[in-house]
């Protein structure tokens, strides 16, 4: 088990990627501290993890509130004595034209997607530096939007780029303290966001056809796949990695343009 005896906090653990990350980390031996606003959903997930032989502890937490973050860290340390890992997964999606974005829109997205991850990273790192043995691993769940963008995502992109920026700076500062910080940037995943895209499209078939043209593997990333990537980054197997931004996107950001809806003839440069 790659995470045996490690205590790992996972935010946004009540749905989507958070569930996949939590279940995968628990299966690899971690004691997972599950944080989200919906305590009922967290309790259900914790019970499911325990039934499978894992260890889980739910904590109600709004990552946009610093008092909640302080309580999350204090409760984790009080219950388990240390923090070995943190996955900053909580976030909100946002799609709205740039010219229509309001201050309230900006404040909401930045508060959850950037401010919360910044200060929880700081609080967890403070604990990691003073505990014995010291050190730990922090994983920031960002997005392929840290590489390229789509229309209507300005506050979201600002938050995710900010996450990469502060993580690189903090990784440099904390490297000698044994604290590693890496960013994991998923592509399109099979979560509630995918269901929202289907609901906004003319049909599920049209939605699939469009996205398959933009994803070389022609499928969605599964939450468990992001979970396994987190396990690697939280484990000692990734001990040389810090300050990295890893694209977990099935090739999406490596493709220059969408795949053409026809079969091209060969172009070999001899004509």
pLDDT of residue 197: 82
Element (H, E) at 60: strand 55-60
Q: What is the mean pLDDT of residues 215-219?
A: 94
- Categorize the per-residue pLDDT at 201 as very low, low, confident or very high, splitting at 50, 70 and 90: confident
- Asked whether the CA dihedral 136, 141, 142, 143 is positive or negative, the reply is positive
- Categorize the per-residue pLDDT at 271 as very low, low, confident or very high, splitting at 50, 70 and 90: low
Q: What is the mean pLDDT of residues 46-74?
A: 98
pLDDT of residue 266: 77
Q: How far apart are CA 1 and CA 17, in angstroms?
A: 21
Angle between helices 154-174 and 103-110 (to 10 degrees): 30
Element (H, E) at 200: helix 192-200
- Asked whether the CA dihedral 33, 223, 199, 153 is positive or negative, the reply is positive
Residue 156 is a catalytic residue: yes
Residue 262 has pLDDT above 80, yes or no: no
- Categorize the per-residue pLDDT at 8 as very low, low, confident or very high, splitting at 50, 70 and 90: very high
Catalytic residue selected from 94, 147, 156, 262: 156
Domain map of the chain by residue range?
Answer: 7-186+222-246, 188-220
User: Please, what's the b/e burial string for 97-133 (b: 16 or more CB within 10 A of its CB; e: otherwise)?
Assistant: eeeeeeeeeeeebbbbbbbbbbbbbebbbebbeeeee
pLDDT of residue 199: 86
Q: How far apart are CA 76 and CA 11, in angstroms?
A: 13
Residue 103 has φ and ψ, to the nearest 5°, of -60, -40
Residue 11 has φ and ψ, to the nearest 5°, of -90, 160
pLDDT of residue 144: 95
Question: What's the whole-number average pLDDT of the chain?
Answer: 94
Residue 191 has pLDDT above 90, yes or no: no
Task: Specify the higher pLDDT residue, 210 or 259.
Answer: 210
Task: Specify the higher pLDDT residue, 196 or 129.
Answer: 129
Q: What is the mean pLDDT of residues 84-94?
A: 94
Could you read off the pLDDT of 110-147 as tens digits, one per residue?
A: 999 999 999 999 999 999 999 999 999 999 999 999 99
pLDDT of residue 267: 76
128 neighbors 178 (Cβ within 8 angstroms): yes
pLDDT exceeding 90 applies to what percent of the chain? Answer: 82
Residue 43 has pLDDT above 70, yes or no: yes
Q: What is the mean pLDDT of residues 192-212?
A: 86
Residue 245 has pLDDT above 80, yes or no: yes
pLDDT of residue 198: 87
For residue 194, count CB atoms less than 10 angstroms from its CB and return exposed for 0-12, middle for 13-18, buried for 19 or more: middle
Q: What is the mean pLDDT of residues 3-19?
A: 97
The residue among 175, 161, 164 whose CA lies nearest residue 140 is 164
User: What pairs with residue 9 in β-bridges?
Assistant: 33, 86
pLDDT of residue 259: 81
Q: How far apart are CA 59 and CA 90, in angstroms?
A: 14
pLDDT of residue 3: 98
The CATH code of domain 7-186+222-246 reads: 3.40.50.720
Q: How far apart are CA 79 and CA 46, in angstroms?
A: 15
124 neighbors 135 (Cβ within 8 angstroms): no
Total Cβ atoms within 10 A of residue 53: 9
Q: What is the mean pLDDT of residues 26-51?
A: 97
């Amino acid at each position: 088990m790659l995470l045996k005896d490690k205590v790992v906090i996972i935010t946004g653990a009540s749905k989507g990627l958070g569930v996949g990350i939590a279940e995968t980390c628990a299966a690899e031996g971690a004691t997972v501290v599950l944080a989200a606003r919906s305590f009922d959903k967290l309790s259900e997930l914790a019970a499911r993890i325990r039934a499978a032989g894992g260890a889980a502890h739910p904590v109600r937490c709004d990552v946009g509130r610093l008092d909640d973050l302080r309580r999350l860290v204090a409760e984790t340390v009080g219950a388990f004595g240390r923090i070995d890992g943190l996955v900053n997964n909580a976030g909100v999606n946002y799609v709205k034209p740039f010219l229509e974005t309001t201050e309230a829109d900006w404040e909401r997205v930045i508060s959850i997607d950037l401010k919360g991850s910044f200060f929880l990273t700081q609080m967890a790192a403070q604990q990691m530096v003073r505990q014995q043995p010291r050190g730990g691993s922090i994983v920031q769940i960002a997005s392929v939007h840290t590489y390229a963008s789509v229309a209507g995502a300005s506050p979201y992109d600002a938050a995710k780029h900010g996450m990469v920026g502060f993580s690189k700076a903090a990784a440099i500062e904390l490297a000698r303290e044994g604290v590693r910080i890496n960013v994991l940037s998923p592509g399109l995943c099979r979560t509630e966001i995918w269901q929202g895209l289907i609901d906004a499209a003319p049909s599920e078939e049209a939605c699939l056809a469009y996205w398959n043209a933009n994803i070389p593997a022609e499928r969605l990333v599964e939450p468990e796949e992001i979970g396994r990537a987190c396990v690697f980054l939280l484990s000692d197997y990734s001990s040389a990695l810090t300050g990295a931004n890893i694209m977990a996107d099935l090739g999406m950001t490596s493709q220059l343009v969408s795949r053409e809806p026809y079969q091209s003839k060969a172009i070999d440069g001899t004509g």
